């Protein structure tokens, strides 16, 4: 039995200035605007410049989330950042964010769960708040996948964009209508090789050889992941709804990971949710990994599409492989 309820206080997002559209990509690899649009639903995405790193955009998203909430900087007591492309292997992006936001000596750590990172981070933040250990957790999803993209691989390089999204998970009053009701997370490490950055870790530390073999960029078996994506998001969503005695009909908004419009439509079809209840912004940002869900939330809340009291369902899948879902009343 949890002592307290957790809720979303606010959301904020930020993307780098540079916009790259499908026609720009036609000049880099053997692809077409038509292929990218019809196979993925993407049209443009934002890329960091050579000098921009993860916390440069995360700090803006976090600032927007904090300033659009009632929470004061001094009352934030934990930072969790979901990323696989922090500024450095260490220290963590969360520790850098703590310094850049001028926060106190509060604990700060990153989690690595690929594109499911934000869902994993929310799952943790919720528990810290519910058990009373923390009251205001800054949760950010940020990824700069364009820095680890193989620009010769047309199967991956057209998909990714850079971005950051943040939320404050805060303690809710018992009487509050808003609540993060439940969360569920999974992993299947036996599928880890389907999406991997092999070089740079302790197994294949950076060397001339790893650079020559292109091991510092993303390797992905796209169509195997595609099949897993719909199944895993459907299964975690249905299990979560079932144990809360709800069905997809009770959900006002589904906010899925934005990896491919066809995956999103396939999921909506399986859940029997009409597409006008699904938040989609993939055409503008591409796949920003752990940032897609908080960015979609920030836009939907910012435009008042999602309002206080709406039932929302966040669901994601990613490297690991990992997947999971969050059920909340915004
Ligand atoms: N432009 C033109 N043709 C292309 C391109 C491109 N950019 N990329 C691939 N093709 C070609 C392939 O070479 C292949 O050609 P062939 O038939 O002559 O061999 C053809 O298109 C079909 O390739 P598939 O890989 O079968 O294409 P598919 O319809 O599966 O789409 C895609 C590929 C978009 C990668 C899809 O499989 C997908 O979205 N998978 C999920 C990937 C994903 O979500 N990854 C992220 C998960 S974790 C995270 O978000 C970081």
Residues serving a catalytic function are: 115, 257, 287
Give the angle subtended at the CA of 255 by the CAs of 251 and 261, to the nearest 5°: 120
> For ligand 1, is residue 4 a contact (CB within 6 Å)?
no
Average pLDDT of the residues of the chain = 97
The closest residue, in CA terms, to atom 3 on ligand 1 is: 31
221 alpha carbon – ligand 1 mean position (Å): 8
156 alpha carbon – ligand 1 mean position (Å): 7
> For ligand 1, is residue 289 a contact (CB within 6 Å)?
yes
pLDDT at 1: 58
pTM of the model: 0.96
41 alpha carbon – ligand 1 mean position (Å): 12
Whether 220 and 194 have beta carbons less than 8 Å apart is answered as: yes
pLDDT at 259: 97
d(CA 27, CA 245): 51
Tell me the average pLDDT across 41-54: 98
Strand 179-187 versus strand 322-329 pairing type: antiparallel
Percent of the chain with pLDDT over 90: 98
pLDDT at 63: 98
> For ligand 1, is residue 195 a contact (CB within 6 Å)?
yes
> For ligand 1, is residue 297 a contact (CB within 6 Å)?
no
Residues contacting residue 272 through CB under 8 Å, at least 6 positions apart: 248, 249
pLDDT at 2: 72
Ligand 1 atom nearest the C-alpha of 225 is 41
Residue 212 has pLDDT above 70, yes or no: yes
> For ligand 1, is residue 286 a contact (CB within 6 Å)?
no
Q: Which tens digit of pLDDT belongs to each residue from 217-235?
A: 999 999 999 999 999 999 9
d(CA 87, CA 54): 6
The closest residue, in CA terms, to atom 32 on ligand 1 is: 222
């Amino acid at each position: 039995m949890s002592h307290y309820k957790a809720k979303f206080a606010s959301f904020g997002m930020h993307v780098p200035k540079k916009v790259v559209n499908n026609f720009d990509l036609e000049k880099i690899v053997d692809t077409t605007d038509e292929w990218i649009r019809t196979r993925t639903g993407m049209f443009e995405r934002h890329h960091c410049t050579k000098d921009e790193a993860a916390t440069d955009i995360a700090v803006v998203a976090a600032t927007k989330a904090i300033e659009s909430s009632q929470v004061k900087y001094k009352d934030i007591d934990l930072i969790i950042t979901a990323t696989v492309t922090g500024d450095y292997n260490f220290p963590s992006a969360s520790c850098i964010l703590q310094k850049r936001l001028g926060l106190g000596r509060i604990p700060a750590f990153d989690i690595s769960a690929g594109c499911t990172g934000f869902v994993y981070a929310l799952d943790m933040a919720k528990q810290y708040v519910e058990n009373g250990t923390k009251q205001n957790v800054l949760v950010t999803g940020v990824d700069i996948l364009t820095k680890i993209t193989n620009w010769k691989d047309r199967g991956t390089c057209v998909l990714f964009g850079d971005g950051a999204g943040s939320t404050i998970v805060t303690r809710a009053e018992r009487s509050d209508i808003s609540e993060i009701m439940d969360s569920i997370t999974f992993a299947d490490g036996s599928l880890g090789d389907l999406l991997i950055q092999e070089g740079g870790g302790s197994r294949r530390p950076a060397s001339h050889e790893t650079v020559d073999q292109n091991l510092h960029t993303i390797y992905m078996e796209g169509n195997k992941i595609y099949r897993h994506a719909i199944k895993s998001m459907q299964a975690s969503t249905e299990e979560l709804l079932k144990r809360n005695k709800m069905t997809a009909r009770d959900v006002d908004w589904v906010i899925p990971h934005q990896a491919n419009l066809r995956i999103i439509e396939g999921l909506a079809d399986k859940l029997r949710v009409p597409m006008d209840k699904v938040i989609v912004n993939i055409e503008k940002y591409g796949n920003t990994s752990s940032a897609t869900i908080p960015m979609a939330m920030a836009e939907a809340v910012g435009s008042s599409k999602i309002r206080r009291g709406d039932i929302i369902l966040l669901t994601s899948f990613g490297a690991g492989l990992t997947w999971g879902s969050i059920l909340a009343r915004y």
